[in-house]
Amino acid sequence: MRLLLNLPRSGRLVYGLLRDGRVPLINKALFTGLGLLYLIWPLDVLPDMIPLIGELDDLTIILFLVDRFVASAPNYVVQEYLDRFQ
C-alpha cells in the first residue's frame, strides 16, 4: 500500500536502482524478467475480463515485485535515493 500511495517516488526509486551499479545485476535481471514474464504471460490469476478486479491482480503482482526489488537492494543505496527525493 505504501508503494501505491507513493507511486511517483517509487517509480523514480526503481528507475534509479535499475541504473545504479551498486545493485547486484541478478536482482535487476530477476525484477525485470519476472515483471515482463508476468505482463506477457497469457494466463492471469484473475481474468482481465472481470471489470476492475482483473486489473487489480496485475497491479498487485507488479507492486509486489517492486517491493521485493527495493527490499533486495542494499539499504544504504535505497536510503541515498530516498534522501534525494525529499
Query: Per-residue pLDDT for the chain (86 aa), expressed as one digit of tens each?
Result: 565 677 788 889 999 999 999 999 999 999 999 989 888 876 666 666 777 777 777 788 888 999 999 999 999 999 999 999 87
pLDDT of residue 20: 96
Q: How many helices (H) and strands (E) does the chain have?
A: 5, 0
Burial of 71 (0-12, 13-18, 19+ CB in 10 A): exposed
**Count of domains in the chain?**
1
Domain enclosing residue 54, as ranges: 2-84
Distance of CA 17 to the CA centre of its chain: 11
